[in-house]
Amino acid sequence: MQALLRLRYLTVAAIGFSAVAALLMFVMGAVTMVQAVGIYAGSGEDPALSSDAALDATVKVVTGLDQFLLALFLVIFASGVYSLWWSPESAGVDEVPKAIPRWLSVRTVSDLKLQLVEVIAVILAVLFLKVLLEITKSDVLPWTVLVLPAGVLLLAGAVWLIRNAER
């Protein structure tokens, strides 16, 4: 059993790489937001009148928002793995650290999975918004666009069912 418990040291890699990836996604989101401003301001036309520049900038902003959400997903994952394997609470200490918000506290792997599914649903909703904005440039709206919101609805329904089953 002790040898199996030593495997928890491998979780340090998951925590560390998730933190590095979150930092990378935050930087990418910031760069994308700056690009959005550049697209809108540097369109060569009066920015207030350029609907193409506004649409392109909006797509960039939604892309940046998606990158920030992915970064938050990685932060939640790293925090959850830390809470499960390294926090004083997981070591049997009853006192919960005050620095961790209540909504971010993870007591079981199921809690972590549920939080991650919720974040994935939000990321998919933002992705749907991005796809919808990009499709507005064309005259044809394919029915396959409905796959993303259907997936978001299914995920939201599953989260709702799980939350109600816990009560």
Q: Please list the pLDDT of the chain residue by residue as tens digits (167 residues).
A: 677 777 778 888 999 999 999 999 999 999 999 999 998 887 666 655 567 778 888 889 999 999 998 999 899 889 888 888 776 555 555 555 566 676 667 778 888 888 888 888 888 888 888 888 888 777 777 777 888 889 889 988 988 888 888 76
- The pLDDT of residue 5 is 74
Structure tokens at 6: 């030593």
What is the structure's pLDDT at 94? 53
Contact 114, 162 (CB under 8 A): yes
Q: Cα(142)–Cα(10) distance, rounded to whole angstroms? A: 45
Give 43's contacts (C-beta < 8 A, 6+ positions apart): 50, 52, 53
Domain that holds residue 161: 2-166
* Count of domains observed in the chain: 1
Q: What is the pTM of this model?
A: 0.75
Give the DSSP letter of residue 143.
Answer: G
